[in-house]
Amino acid sequence: HLILSELDTQGKIEDTRTLMLPGASQLAVSQDDQLHILGALNSLLSREMVTYTTQEIQSHVLSDEGKQIALQGSHEARVWNALPVKGEGKPLGPKDLKAKIGDESAKIGQGVAFKNGWIGKDADGFVKLVTSIHDSTQEDMREVDSTGTLKAGEKALAALRKRKLITQKKGQWFTVHKGPHFSAKVEKQETDLTTEMLTSGSWKTSTYKKYNFEADGIPTAGGALHPLLKVREEIRNIFLEMGFAEMPTASYVESGFWCFDSLFVPQQHPARDLQDTFYLSDPAVSLPPPQDYYKTVSEVHEKGGYGSIGYRAPWSEADSRKLLLRTHTTASSAALLRTIATQPGGFKPAKLFSIDRVFRNEATDATHLAEFHQVEGVVADRNLTLADLIGFMRVFFSKMGIHQLRFKPAYNPYTEPSLEIFAFHPMLKKWVEIGNSGMFRPEMLEPMGFPKDVRVHGWGLSLERPTMIRYGINNIRTLVGHKTSIEAVERSPSVRF
């Protein structure tokens, strides 16, 4: 406003140091004032209300010592202040003087105060010789502080520079002219063209803020990994460093044959019920499975074989061919295990893993969703024992930061023995179930074509559970689904073990 009204009445401002800022007691001669003015000039410039040119000048600022003098007086003044008037008190010796005003002020101030005739010797100490002094150094400091220079001129400035009380610094002031859009008052400028402005026609008379192509702009929001993906990456790295290869798991849709029959899950098993498994309606039936393998599998179920009596229950081809959303990644493992059992050149030991999505037709609650992720490991080699499985899991889980494990006998249709895995949770201070495992049954392995001495063990766990524990999430709906906060995902830390 000051700049605009000055331009309005005077036509131009020759030197911005001649302005008197609102509330100021002197002209705007200091560099602080000029910086302030520069800010205002730039904002008026962007509206093309003014133009200005910059004049570079040499200015001065106070050193730390100079600042102290501006506040507390010069060293010589401090010496004079500390002493008694001659004949009115006990003269102060050099030691007492140092103790009173500090070593440095005493040392530097004494000589100057003597030279100025302010103090003199009396007995073994110093006394004041005059009743008042004029502390010109302090005045100079104050003048430089507020104007950046001295009226006394360059010679006086040079002397202060030599005493290291002031240093040179580039300064500036400005000459200001009216710009093409000059007006005495600042109008509100529009930054957006709105529907209201278009319909009311006000856009025709509005003034618009000039586009600033130099501005940095808002940082673009990059993608962020979901906590599940971070934990997946860590677990994947553990598998890879233990020499495991990743299995293909892209087929969410499987047949009853691969999801259950090939794993020796009886066709009457409750997991195959509509209430537990999502079945497809279109298409509802799978292509025929490999004929020979299908025949062997159905016979082992119905009549037994490979030392087993089988389930001795009627076999339904329709159940086997039903298409469904896989209920576990072991469906994908089964297909791959059969390939490695019958690979050309004969069986070779294998370590395999997968981390992918599975689906269960279950009631959802705070810790269960109808779809989640399974982490699965499978090891096939000759003469493996249960000790190998347990040993493997100890190494695997310790790499995940889980060191206390317990194994509990359990039941799976496709493994014998089967073990549930419990881990001690140090924060919850209790044992929690973290996975399921076992040695795959011969009724499953031998129809696939594995040699008799090959054992396959496997274990599975959910990806959601370790992720929730690690990120302190207790409702799965804040981790997955429409209630997940994108911001929380963006801010979530990298995983810590």
Q: Using CB under 6 A as the criterion, which residues of the chain lie in contact with ligand PHE when the complex forms? A: 328, 330, 376, 412, 415, 436-438, 458-460
Residue closer to ligand PHE, measured from CB, 128 or 441: 441
CB of 247 to ligand PHE, least distance (A): 12
Residue closer to ligand PHE, measured from CB, 4 or 444: 444
CB of 331 to ligand PHE, least distance (A): 9
Give the count of alpha carbons within 13 A of 141, CB side only: 21
Residue closer to ligand PHE, measured from CB, 176 or 358: 358
Residue closer to ligand PHE, measured from CB, 29 or 421: 421
Residue closer to ligand PHE, measured from CB, 79 or 402: 402
Residue closer to ligand PHE, measured from CB, 135 or 416: 416
The candidate with the shortest Cα–Cα distance to 455, out of 354, 383, 391, is 383
CB of 354 to ligand PHE, least distance (A): 10
Q: Looking at residue 245, what DSSP letter applies?
A: E
Q: Which residue is nearest to ligand PHE, using beta carbons? A: 460
First to last CA, the chain: 60
Got the DSSP string for 401-463?
T---EEEEEEEETTEEEEEEEEEEETTTTEEEEEEEEEEEPHHHHHHHT--TTEEEEEEEEES
Distances, alpha carbon 116 to alpha carbons 20, 66, 95, 124, 438, in Å = 38, 20, 22, 20, 100
Distance between CA atoms of 178 and 426, rounded to whole angstroms? 73
Q: How many residues does the structure list for the chain?
A: 497
CB of 358 to ligand PHE, least distance (A): 7
CB of 225 to ligand PHE, least distance (A): 26
CB of 291 to ligand PHE, least distance (A): 26
CB of 328 to ligand PHE, least distance (A): 4
Q: Which helix (H) or strand (E) holds 250?
A: none
Distance between CA atoms of 329 and 25, rounded to whole angstroms? 81
Distance between CA atoms of 458 and 226, rounded to whole angstroms? 27
Residue closer to ligand PHE, measured from CB, 217 or 409: 409
- For 260, residues 6+ apart whose C-beta sits below 8 A from its C-beta are 267, 269, 271, 272
Angle ∠(81,83,85) on CA atoms, nearest 5: 105
CB of 399 to ligand PHE, least distance (A): 19
* Identity of the residue numbered 208: Y
Residue written as token pair 């929690």: 432
Residue closer to ligand PHE, measured from CB, 227 or 458: 458
